[in-house]
Structure 1
Amino acid sequence: MHNTAATPPDQHGPHGGDPFDPIAAALREHGYVVLPAPLPPSLLGALLRHFRSIDPGQFKRAGIGREDEHQLNRFVRGDEIFWLDRGNPAVQAYLSWMEELRLGLNRRLFLGLFDYECHYAYYDRGTFYKKHLDAFKGNTNRMVSTVLYLTPNWQPRDGGELLVYPPDSMAVAAEPLLKVAPRFGQMVIFLSEEFPHEVLTVNRPRYSVTGWFRVNNSLGDAIDPAR
């Protein structure tokens, strides 16, 4: 089990290259990448303050499945979510950064990503998310998953790590490819259709921004709805 890390996008590579090159290269070779610190501390702090300022009543219990198949199941996942838009300056800055990443990945990997949707995810003590896929091949438009961690002062005893499993291991026992600590400011990116993953039981409140780059599966001028 190992991490595949890339140079953060707000820095230059070792030879002054484009900062998105190592991210695209890792996704091309491995299908996932861990970024230790891609965003400036000031933006991370502003996102966390906004997260904490939201009335808990505005968070919704997260379900499994989409549209007609959507259902709530506390035995599978226990997080609560709040969908994001550009109404807050910190969120707007984050979404602008993700738009740059979308364009950068499209230029390098020709993925056809056209949109990004995301929400705050709050895990209270004792909650988890069992092994799952963010997308099933041919049945969704989610292509690339992202998780930005906002839990301050995370320690190993706090739990809530993300385990990412090999492709085609959803229904079988398998050793994880990597274990990602939800350290403040760290981000993980992976191909949505390829990698089963789970969130281990959380021992203290856990904050993150979870999102997906999507492709457009509709015909003509119609655009697939988000979420």
Structure 2
Amino acid sequence: MNPEIAVPAQPFNADTLDAIAQQLEHRGYALVPQALPPETVDALFVELKQLPEQYFKPAGIGRQDDFQLNRFVRSDQICWLNGDSPAAAGFLAWMQTLREGLNRRLFLGLFDYEAHYASYPTGAFYKKHVDAFKGQSNRVLSTVFYLNPQWQPNDGGELVIYDENDQHELERVLPEYGKLVIFLSEVFPHEVLPAQRERNSIAGWFRVNNSSAWMADPAR
């Protein structure tokens, strides 16, 4: 396991982007503690906690015609970010900075970004899965940004990342406040373990544009 990336006062500056790109190139994922300014993190946390309950919908698996609810696979609830609030707009602006920086360094052709709040009630989980199947999705990079103040190891809720062949555990990541995880969407099976308290995050995906003259690139 490689150490986490140390982030200076100005997030996603050239040095930080270089370090993230190097981790993605060498091992396919990166861990960034305290990734965004504290005021951005706090604003996102306050917004999430103040969102009306009816804004959250049970999360499903698959997309479009393949979408289905399966409470044996995942039991979280989600609310999509549209950038209407100052908190969400600030977060999406930082992700735009990250997208542009990674494109310059890794030539990934990342086209846009989509994200949602994910709320896991006590005991909720998301069983092992991949975020995209090779050649069948436009999702290239997955991100998870954690909004859990004072999270302790015995609270559980870790993100477990497995190797490409699904044989070995690579990382077990505590969902600590302000931490960002980035990984290749098609490569790494991963799961969310049950937690002893409510667990919150923003899950997102950088996408490439698969539009053509015959087929439009689908929305989320």
Shorter-chain TM band: over 0.9
1:200 alignment partner in structure 2: 193
- Misfit runs of 4+, over 3 Å: 9-13, 220-223
The structure 2 residue matched to 1:31, chosen from 5, 8, 28, is 28
Give unpaired runs (5+ residues) of structure 1.
none
The structure 2 residue matched to 1:185, chosen from 165, 169, 178, is 178
Question: Aligned Cα RMSD in Å?
Answer: 1.8
SS state at 1:113 partner: coil
- Distance in 2 between the 1:89 and 1:17 partners? 25
- Distance in 1 between the 2:194 and 2:172 partners? 13
Residues 60-209 of structure 1: matches in 2 within 5 Å? Answer: 60-169=57-166, 174-209=167-202
| Alpha-carbon shift at residue 4 of structure 1 (Å) | 4.4
Residues 1:12 and 1:157: Cα distance change in structure 2 (over 3 Å): closer
- Distance in 1 between the 2:45 and 2:215 partners? 35
Asked if the contact 1:167/1:194 (under 8 Å) is kept, the reply is yes
Residues 1:123 and 1:190: Cα distance change in structure 2 (over 3 Å): same
| Alpha-carbon shift at residue 11 of structure 1 (Å) | 4.1
Find out whether 1:212 has 2:209 as its counterpart: no
Asked if the contact 1:3/1:178 (under 8 Å) is kept, the reply is no
| Alpha-carbon shift at residue 17 of structure 1 (Å) | 5.2
The count of residues paired between Structure 1 and Structure 2 equals 220
| Alpha-carbon shift at residue 161 of structure 1 (Å) | 0.3
SS state at 1:19 partner: helix
- Distance in 2 between the 1:142 and 1:185 partners? 23
Residues 1:9 and 1:109: Cα distance change in structure 2 (over 3 Å): farther
Q: Which amino acid is the alignment partner of residue 199 of structure 2?
A: R
SS state at 1:77 partner: coil
Asked if the contact 2:11/2:37 (under 8 Å) is kept, the reply is no
Find out whether 1:6 has 2:5 as its counterpart: yes
Give unpaired runs (5+ residues) of structure 2.
none
Q: TM-score, normalised by structure 2?
A: 0.95
Residues 1:154 and 1:78: Cα distance change in structure 2 (over 3 Å): same
Residues 1:157 and 1:221: Cα distance change in structure 2 (over 3 Å): same
| Alpha-carbon shift at residue 222 of structure 1 (Å) | 6.8
Asked if the contact 1:151/1:208 (under 8 Å) is kept, the reply is yes
Q: TM-score, normalised by structure 1?
A: 0.92
| Alpha-carbon shift at residue 10 of structure 1 (Å) | 5.0
Deviations 1:47-101 (A, max 9, x none): 0000011111110100011111111011100000000011000110110000010
Asked if the contact 2:59/2:76 (under 8 Å) is kept, the reply is yes
